[in-house]
C-alpha cells in the first residue's frame, strides 16, 4: 500500500493551552449519528495543529458566529456565511480536551479540541 503524506500531516497535535494559529483547511460533512451538517476547521501553527467540528445546529450556531466574528468576518442576520472565507484567517485559541459518551458504543471518548476563539 502506498500512503501519500500531504503538507502539514507530519505535525503533532497542539499541546493544551493558548495558541496563535491560522485556519488552514475546511472540510464539510454531516454527523454520523444524527445527520447534522458541520464543517471542520484545521487550526495550525509551527508547533502543530488541532481540528474542530462546528455543527450547524441551534446549539452550535453561537460557536460558528463567534469564530467568524473573531476571524474578522462580519456576521449579519439574514445573510449566509461562507466557510471558505475562514481559510487563511488568524485567531487565538485555547486547546483542551473534552470527554463524551459515544452514542453508538456507550464508551467514553476524549477529543482534543479548540475553544475560546479570540482575535489574534
Give, for 17, the enclosing helix (H) or strand (E): strand 17-30
> Which class would CATH give 17-119?
mainly beta
Averaged pLDDT, 3-28: 86
Residues 6+ apart with CB under 8 A from 6: none
C-alpha cell at 120: 489574534
Q: Mean pLDDT over all residues of the chain?
A: 87
DSSP state at residue 13: B
Residue 86 DSSP symbol: G
- pLDDT one-digit tens code per residue, 54-102: 999 998 898 999 999 999 999 999 999 999 999 999 999 999 887 777 7
Domain ranges of the chain: 17-119
Residue 27: φ, ψ to 5°? -115, 145
Amino acid at each position: 500500500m502506498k500512503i501519500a503524506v500531504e503538507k502539514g500531516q507530519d505535525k503533532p497535535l497542539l499541546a493544551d493551552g493558548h495558541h496563535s494559529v491560522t485556519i488552514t483547511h475546511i472540510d464539510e460533512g454531516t454527523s454520523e449519528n444524527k445527520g447534522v451538517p458541520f464543517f471542520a476547521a484545521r487550526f495550525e501553527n509551527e508547533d502543530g495543529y488541532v481540528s474542530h467540528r462546528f455543527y450547524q445546529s441551534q446549539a452550535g450556531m453561537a460557536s460558528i458566529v463567534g469564530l467568524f466574528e473573531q476571524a474578522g468576518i462580519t456576521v449579519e442576520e439574514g445573510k449566509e456565511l461562507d466557510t471558505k472565507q475562514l481559510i487563511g484567517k488568524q485567531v487565538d485559541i485555547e486547546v483542551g480536551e473534552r470527554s463524551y459518551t459515544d452514542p453508538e458504543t456507550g464508551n467514553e471518548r476524549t477529543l482534543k479540541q479548540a475553544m475560546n476563539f479570540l482575535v489574534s
